[in-house]
Amino acid sequence: MELLAKNDQQLLVLSPLSLPSLQLKKDEAEKQGRSPFADFDDVEMLNWYIHERRHTNEANERSERTKREYENELRQFIGQLMTFAAEIGLDIEAIKDHSLFKSLEPRHLRRWQEWLMKESPRVKEKGPYSQTTITRKTTIIRSFFQYLYRVDYIIVETHIGLRKATVRNDDRPNRDLGPGDVVEMLRGFKAIEHPVMFGIILTLTATGIRNEEYCKLDVRHVQRDRILGGFFLSVIGKGNKRRQIPLKPQVIEAMENFRKARGIPSLSAADPDSPLFTTSRGTRFSPSYLNQYMTKEMIKIQERLNGLEINITPHVFRHAFAITSHLNKVGIYDIMRSLGHEKLDTTQIYLEKVFAKERHAVNQWSKNTLNEFL
């Protein structure tokens, strides 16, 4: 079975470098009047699905971040099927055409989903996945098998075995930070002379950029605005879309203080291609390490947070940007564009709790509704 032979993490390398040869194989089958993917194996289908060119403009292709996310989820899915076949109930009597994907049927995906949610080692060790995680995993696996069926690589609608997974508003973790919360954090880190955390928090809050966008910033991405004056950040976000984000003078100052604390050159003296923000070792932050670092450092000002029941990660400062913008009367479409959201619905999710409180009936009562008592 080809996939079983290649599924070792070091051997299953999904790379766009093999796309030209896969394209030739596909074209040759098409020329012979056969199904375009007749000569593909499972690993090649994975590769093609993740890296296929769909647009004339390469900038419109899936971002590297999205490709990695799809690849990681599909790797985990395959690994789980093969490692825990008995526990999942993978009752495949015969492998069809040396293909795991062609051998799967709807009940297998249903059983995998149930096992993932209730019996997988991760659940037994750490507790259930969040509904957001289950929805993401289900969406990626369903999309992949829908694709395999649509292009005739498989002949069974395997994806119908997956139950629907959606995220209700109540399932989403509370990530709301207001300007007052951010001010307390900034004051806390200023008081203990911690310019690194001060710079991280002020930059994230005043720009609204994503964790991954922050980690990818180079010195050259801080550019002078020749039209409006000052500086802006040139950021490439999801979907390879570029945004220009104005930088307040205080943010530039915080960046310089961050770099001074890290012992790296000032913005004007630095190599343009060097990381804008670095770890204590002088290397670029990774998104996961930035999460860990911020969680660890927040403990130092815990007493200032007044029992704030929010897991402080880089992402919550995107919410802080949205909430602070709304409280400053910025229109929701401007907030959406500034955050790099494609859909207004996403921006509304960031603001839904604020909207709900603002529109609560009690806030629409007139003064002296209860005479002198209210």
- For the chain, domains (ranges, CATH) are 2-171 (no CATH), 179-358 (1.10.443.10)
Check residue 281 and give its pLDDT: 94
Would you tell me the crossing angle of helices 316-327 and 179-191 to the nearest 10 degrees? 120
Print pLDDT tens along the chain (374 aa). Answer: 344 444 443 334 455 558 889 999 999 999 999 999 999 999 999 999 998 888 887 767 777 778 889 999 999 999 999 999 999 998 887 788 889 999 999 999 999 999 999 999 999 999 988 888 999 999 999 999 999 999 999 999 999 999 988 766 555 556 788 899 999 999 999 999 999 999 999 999 999 999 999 999 999 999 999 999 999 999 988 877 889 999 999 999 999 999 999 999 999 999 999 999 999 999 999 999 999 999 999 999 988 877 777 788 999 999 999 999 999 999 999 999 999 998 999 999 889 888 888 888 988 888 888 877 88
Residue 324: what pLDDT? 95
CA-to-CA distance for 92 and 216, rounded, in angstroms? 44
Cβ distance 286 to 165 under 8 Å?
Answer: no
Q: Which of 160, 156, 202, 161 is nearest to 317 (CA)?
A: 202
Backbone angles phi, psi at 268, to 5 degrees: -75, -25
CA angle 112, 117, 121 (to 5 degrees): 85
What token pair was written down for 271? 């190599």
Structure tokens at 277: 């923000």
How many Cβ atoms sit within 10 Å of the Cβ of residue 361?
Answer: 6
What pLDDT score does 5 carry? 40
Quick: pLDDT tens for 26-35: 999 999 999 9
Q: Is the dihedral of CA 67, 73, 78, 79 positive or negative?
A: positive
**Looking at residue 2, what is its pLDDT?**
42
State the pLDDT at residue 1. Answer: 38
Task: State the pLDDT at residue 15.
Answer: 58
What's at 305, amino acid-wise? L
